[in-house]
Homo-oligomer: A and B are copies of this chain.
Amino acid sequence: MTTIENILNRRSIRRYTDTKIDTDTMHTLLTCAMAGPSCVNARDWSFIVVDNKDLLRKLADCNGRPASMLPDAAAAVIVCGDLSRAFKKAREYWIIDGSIAAQNIILAANELGIGSVWLGTYPQMERVNNIRHLFALPEDIVPHSIIALGYPDEKGNGDKLLYEENRVHFNRW
Which residues of A are in contact with B by a Cβ distance under 8 Å? Answer: 1-4, 6-8, 10, 12, 27-28, 30-32, 34-37, 39, 43, 45-52, 55, 82, 89-90, 92-93, 95-96, 98-100, 103-104, 106-108, 110-112, 118, 120, 122-124, 135-138, 141, 145, 160-164, 167-173
Contacts and interface: CB of A to CB of B under 8 A. Distances in A.
Contacts of A12: 37
Contacts of A160: 35
Contacts of A30: 163, 168
A51 B172 CA distance: 11
Number of copies: 2
Contact of A163 (B34, B48, B163): B34
A168 B82 CA distance: 12
A17 B104 CA distance: 28
A31 B8 contact: yes
Contact of A169 (B46, B51, B112, B120): B46
A112 B124 CA distance: 37
A51 B168 CA distance: 13
Contacts of A52: 171
B36 A108 contact: no
B173 A123 contact: no
Nearest to A10: B35
Given A32-B7, A32-B8, A99 B110 contact: no
A1 B24 CA distance: 20
Contacts of A170: 48-49, 51
A34 B167 contact: yes
